[in-house]
């Protein structure tokens, strides 16, 4: 996530998390000066080509990512915790997350340009008539 715009820069949909998947996801991102994460041991073992990684014991530097994760669970019921809504199809989940990221990023950029103009996430999703 870009801290200045709060746009989502990279995401991955997978049934399982592995060290290889985390490294591939990191390698696909644009380089950054600083990387902040929680203290999950796997993050400390990744190879950060550029910049520095900081494992934070608190949420002082990761609160915005946690907030965006909550937004994602809010708008996509299939990701809500303790819910009966879930995706059996990884492809369907990928499409839903891709649509969310598209609308979210456009909303965040619009909010940057026009801070006093109310913008809703749904405004950036077109539904065919």
pLDDT at residue number 105? 93
What pLDDT was estimated at residue 124?
A: 80
Rounded to the nearest integer, the mean pLDDT of the chain is 84
Q: What is the mean pLDDT of residues 80-87?
A: 62
Question: Per-residue pLDDT averaged across 96-106, rounded?
Answer: 92
Q: What is the pLDDT of residue 101?
A: 93
Percent of the chain with pLDDT over 70: 91
d(CA 82, CA 70) in angstroms, rounded, equals 14
Question: Could you tell me the pTM of the whole model?
Answer: 0.78
Whole-number Å distance between alpha carbons of 103 and 97? 10
Q: Which of 78, 75, 73 is nearest to 90 (CA)?
A: 78
Residue 116 has pLDDT above 70, yes or no: yes
- Strands 34-37, 52-55: pairing is parallel
Task: Give start and end residues of each alpha helix (H) in 1-129.
Answer: 19-28, 41-44, 63-75, 90-113
């Amino acid at each position: 996530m870009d801290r200045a715009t709060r746009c989502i820069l990279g995401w991955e949909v997978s049934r399982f998390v592995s060290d290889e998947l985390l490294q591939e996801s990191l390698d696909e991102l644009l380089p950054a000066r600083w990387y902040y994460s929680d203290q999950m041991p796997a993050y400390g073992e990744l190879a950060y080509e550029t910049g520095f990684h900081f494992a934070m014991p608190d949420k002082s530097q990761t609160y915005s990512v946690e907030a965006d994760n909550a937004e994602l669970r809010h708008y996509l019921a299939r990701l809500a915790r303790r819910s009966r809504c879930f995706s059996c199809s990884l492809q369907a989940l990928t499409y839903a997350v891709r649509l969310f990221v598209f609308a979210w990023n456009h909303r965040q950029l619009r909010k940057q340009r026009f801070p006093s103009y109310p913008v809703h996430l749904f405004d950036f999703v077109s539904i065919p008539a």
